[in-house]
Structure 1
């Protein structure tokens, strides 16, 4: 069986790698840049080096820093319409998943004859209109590597993914300085999100020999680094590993796809605005415990990669270890694991079950089919 995987054409990694923006500007004779970010990132000073490089090269730029977390279709539409007036020759995104997803959509919508609403109906018509550079400021979403952009659909109280390989960014800059001061809660939530990408992709029905290489690399890096990165603000090596792990997880998504963890988390973000990484963390261990008997071999292989001390254990024992290790990481990084904390009660379960069951784009990747009762049981476990 043959397979393929697509990744960004250039990846720049390491402390201070934001300086490669200077080389890119010179190489491509860039004259005008649109910078997508958010107010938190901008106020933290994370855009300053990029802007100083633009100034040094006399590159004009316009900053759009009003991008909302978990943006709706209307939010994204508004930003892209405003950015369309700039006539830029390069898009630069400095931020988390929401910022990068917005920029990726802009890269296929600015100057296009189709609209965002058209892409929601049929993403296959998307075409790359303008080059893009992604600079992540978290260590989890993997959006800098994926062909996906997620938007909230308020009227459906859920989220939807727009998927087309033309949205894969042209360049990625993984500079650990961007997460040097990231709050520990964000390290935890985005890191567990990245870990979910790796494990879900490795156990997905659509996994391939290529996607598995990146998925396993993601899992090894995140499992070995997340707790240290969480407790030690100066653990730059661990944080760099987190950034690399998140990037590899994003590549795995492009080649494989996430499964029921992400599918069931979407309604939690879309309706109740629970941060994406937190909602995934809540569901991660319960979903993988449900899936375990259908992917014992894959989970056993993950165990072999992350814990050689269990080499003599049975496949069943190894698969149990991985599920337990997931729960341990979530506990050690102090991520909330109860829906009650967010005001969700038993009365809300029916609507969650309905919304979760509609995420067929991801549920079809799951090794086990989930009935409505299965979905209900999983949500009830995290109440």
Structure 2
């Protein structure tokens, strides 16, 4: 068996590491910078931290912040057209997953003849046109580490991932200052998204020794720090550990891939615009319960790593303990657990089941196959 993993070529970590952006700009010899962000990041004052550093380098830069959360591919195409008019030599993304995904897509679209729609149909044609720097401002998407970009596809009422090695970022800056003031609800949603990444990757049919190493390291950090990061926003050690755990989860994705949790969450984001981390959190424990028989040993192994005090217990008990911790974290961080809160009705089940079943890129990673009836029953568990 051969296996591989992909990882950004240069990663900086620690409070204050955003200062390294000056050296990156100098190293790249960039004179004009494209900055991707969103209005929330700008309003929080985080953009000012970046632009003040860019001002010291005396480079030109253009800020693009007109990107909607959870964007459709048409939204990304619109932003890419705006960027086409600016002759930037380096892209810096400061934001959450949507911002970073849009920046990664721009890095392979600027000056290209293909469109985002073309990449949805055939992602292999993407070629990197502009090098990228990722600065995450949430603690969960892992987008800063992956070669994936997720966009909504309205006509399919779902989301779809574009995957191409050329979208791996060139530089990553993991600075906990960027998540110091993150609202608790976003700490929760993005943190549980990161937790889903590491657990799904560890239990994926395509898991490898490489992906296991990163998934296990990420799991230890996230399971032991997410509650603290949520309840005590000023605990910068917990915030830093969440940022690292999220990055490790992103790296694990490039080696193995997520599974049915993400597959079934995509229609919830695409049709109902439920935040990605929230839709994952709602489904997470229920999918792992469904997977229990196929994943029991893997979940028990993860329990040994994260909660070594449980090592004397049975395999079944350890696997159930991990699933119980997942459910407990979702409850403790105040994430809704019922889809009806978001206007989802039982009458929508057929559409959800159909859209979820089409996420074969991820469903093939799941150790237990899902029939249409299985998918329906999982959705029913979160429709009360």
Would you say same fold, with TM above 0.5?
yes
Which residue matches 2:122?
122
User: What does the per-residue CA deviation read over 1:241-263, in whole Å, with 9 as the maximum and x for residues that have no partner?
Assistant: 00000000000011110000000
For the pair 1:368 / 2:372, whether they are aligned, the reply is no
- Provide runs of 4+ in structure 1 moved above 3 Å: none
Which residue matches 2:306?
306
Q: Distance in 2 between matches of 1:222 and 1:165?
A: 26
Which residue matches 1:163?
163
Per mean C-alpha deviation after superposition, the further-off stretch among 23-32 and 228-237 is: 23-32
Q: Distance in 1 between matches of 2:308 and 2:161?
A: 37
Q: Distance in 2 between matches of 1:117 and 1:263?
A: 20
Q: Distance in 2 between matches of 1:374 and 1:120?
A: 27
Q: Distance in 1 between matches of 2:114 and 2:78?
A: 15
User: What does the per-residue CA deviation read over 1:99-154, in whole Å, with 9 as the maximum and x for residues that have no partner?
Assistant: 00000000101011222221111111111110000000000000000110001011
Which residue matches 1:380?
380
How far is the alpha carbon of 1:282 from its aligned partner? 0.3
Q: Distance in 2 between matches of 1:5 and 1:306?
A: 23
| Counterparts of residues 302-341 of structure 1 (less than 5 Å) | 302-341=302-341
Query: Which SS does the other structure have where 2:46 is aligned?
Result: coil
Q: Distance in 2 between matches of 1:28 and 1:140?
A: 28
How far is the alpha carbon of 1:30 from its aligned partner? 1.4
How far is the alpha carbon of 1:350 from its aligned partner? 1.2
Which residue matches 2:48?
48
Which residue matches 1:35?
35
How far is the alpha carbon of 1:359 from its aligned partner? 0.6
Which residue matches 1:241?
241
| Counterparts of residues 65-104 of structure 1 (less than 5 Å) | 65-104=65-104
Q: Distance in 2 between matches of 1:113 and 1:232?
A: 48
How far is the alpha carbon of 1:187 from its aligned partner? 0.3
Query: Which SS does the other structure have where 1:15 is aligned?
Result: coil
For the pair 1:293 / 2:288, whether they are aligned, the reply is no
User: What does the per-residue CA deviation read over 1:24-68, in whole Å, with 9 as the maximum and x for residues that have no partner?
Assistant: 111122100010000000111101121111111111011110111
User: What does the per-residue CA deviation read over 1:57-106, in whole Å, with 9 as the maximum and x for residues that have no partner?
Assistant: 11101111011101011100000111111111000000000000000000
Which residue matches 2:251?
251
User: What does the per-residue CA deviation read over 1:257-295, in whole Å, with 9 as the maximum and x for residues that have no partner?
Assistant: 000000000000000010000000000000000001101
For the pair 1:111 / 2:133, whether they are aligned, the reply is no
Which residue matches 1:218?
218
Query: Which SS does the other structure have where 2:215 is aligned?
Result: helix
Q: Distance in 2 between matches of 1:2 and 1:23?
A: 37
Aligned-residue CA RMSD in angstroms?
0.7
Per mean C-alpha deviation after superposition, the further-off stretch among 53-62 and 261-270 is: 53-62
